[in-house]
Amino acid sequence: MTSDIRTFESLGLSQGLLRALAASGYTQPTPIQEQAIPLILAGHDVLGAAQTGTGKTAAFGLPLLQRLGKETPARGPRKPRALVLVPTRELAVQVAESIKEYGHHMKLNVTTIFGGAGMQPQIDNLRRGVDILVACPGRLLDHMQSGHAKLDAVEMLILDEADRMLDMGFLPSIKRVLARVPKERQTLLFSATFEARIKALALEFMRDPRQVEVAAQNTIADTIVHRAHPVDSAAKRDLLVDILSKRHTEQVLIFGKTKHGCNRLAEQLEKSGLPSVAIHGNKSQAQRQKALDAFKSGRARILVATDVAARGLDIPNLPLVINHDLPMVAEDYVHRIGRTGRAGATGEALSLVSPEEGALLRDIQKMLKAEIEMVVVPGFEPSRPIRLDAPRPPNGGRGGRPAGDQRPARPSAHRGHGKAQPRSAQPHAGPQVPGSRGRGPGAGRRDTRA
């Protein structure tokens, strides 16, 4: 619809925002930005299908800032005029950081509200005055009930990653929050898919929303080389140390199955002289942020994570992602390796596969529509062959997730709503194409927080 538009300037953004974008190194809008920004600036409600990595935060953050920036903020404490609802504290922090970055030349206050952190600092921030509030629904309700968060001045409401909020059981909280936001407002809703429950939400809370949709960033770029090492379960850790000791220059993201497994793995790697941090749902917000900062700054070379903890994190493009354990659900393989090979860069996805994981490997290959090359590492030969017709490991049914994961399992009825299959411009480019340079949906973009 707006495919001829190629610059931020032509989208109608103000000079202050254009300067901030240039400072961030953004040269060109991403597809979701091209489509959504003009509609939002024109005042429409917008329903956007886009995942993390597509640039959706700027797609709503830029027009939001432009609208709020039209009025000089009143002096003294101010009530929020924009409310962004997000599912997790990590996303709250990321969204707020991005909005601050884009609004660098504007005098607007941005504050986050999320659980797992002290109430008082959040109350202090609310008292000081807020223009843009980025909040998780549960904690926001607490602040509303105690009278610290007042939403009667909200003129822009954004539901970010709405599908995840519903997965996490936030619907009742969202409805209670929305009941306190003025009806006269602009509403934006972003979700990975337009499944029925999202459409129902839009129908209830939005006014004549315009729909925009882009291919997911978390798709399998054809610049990724996929490889698997067959190995016994008990020897995986030693093989990992062997691999990481030989390839000591790169930053690596390693996926493990359980929280305890990830912790143990990070500890063992540390003991082997490989600086590592773990991130998972059992850690406090401060610990998670510290681990993520250590990894982003390069102090820790290795980040060990569970699927749930890694979802939605703005982890920079990485040369190597290792699956210490195969994911229980093939779809998670796509999310995991979406961390590598972004924006036309080459990447490598390495999986350690034990004989018990044959069925999981079969699921992944089926989804990729290609075989993953198996490379035996001398000294780590498995005691049994990897059989693709092996039965599924316990706890490994479709839709099943390891016990103790923070996020409730997605109801299986919702699986396959466009997420199970890569939704890419080159959806089934397939693995194992070293050397070929595909330009995925995010090609040409730079991950400035790398």
What are φ and ψ of residue 113, in 5° steps?
A: -135, 120
Q: Which of 195, 232, 371, 447: binder of ligand AMP (CB under 6 A)?
A: 447
Which of 11, 13, 17, 26 is close enough to bind ligand AMP by CB under 6 A? Answer: 26
SS3 427: coil
The smaller minimum CB distance to ligand AMP, of residues 33 and 187, is found at 33
Cβ 184 to ligand AMP shortest distance, Å = 28
What tokens appear for 54 in the block? 């597509």
The answer to whether the beta carbons of residues 64 and 132 sit under 8 Å apart is: yes
One DSSP character per residue, 233-287 reads: GGGHHHHHHHHHHHS-SS-EEEE-SSHHHHHHHHHHHHHTT--EEEE-TTS-HHH
Q: Pick the piece of the chain touching ligand AMP (CB under 6 A) from 151-159, 228-236, 320-328, 439-447.
A: 439-447
User: For ligand AMP, which stretch binds (CB under 6 A), given 22-30, 124-132, 149-157, 162-170?
Assistant: 22-30
| Residue nearer to ligand AMP on the CB measure, 315 or 326 | 315
Please state, in angstroms and rounded to a whole number, the distance separating the CA atoms of residues 278 and 269. 11
Binding of residue 54 to ligand AMP (CB under 6 A): yes
Q: Find the shortest distance in angstroms from Cβ 217 to ligand AMP.
A: 7
For residues 343 and 317, the answer to whether their CB atoms sit within 8 Å is: yes
The only residue of 280, 301, 324, 445 in contact with ligand AMP, by rule CB under 6 A:
445
Question: Which stretch in 23-31, 75-83, 301-309, 357-365 sits in contact with ligand AMP by CB under 6 A?
Answer: 23-31
Residues 129-148 that bind ligand AMP (CB under 6 A): none
Does position 448 interact with ligand AMP (CB under 6 A)? The reply is yes
Question: On the CB side of 180, how many CA atoms lie within 13 Å of its CA?
Answer: 16
10 Å CB burial of residue 243 (0-12, 13-18, 19+) is: middle
Site residues (CB under 6 A) for ligand AMP, limited to 302-321: 314
- DSSP character string of 110-152: EEEE-SSS-HHHHHHHHHH--SEEEE-HHHHHHHHHTT----T
Stretch that binds ligand AMP, among 159-167, 248-256, 323-331, 440-448 (CB under 6 A): 440-448
Is 52 among the residues that bind ligand AMP (CB under 6 A)?
Answer: yes
Binding site for ligand AMP (CB under 6 A): 26, 28-30, 33, 52-58, 314, 445-449
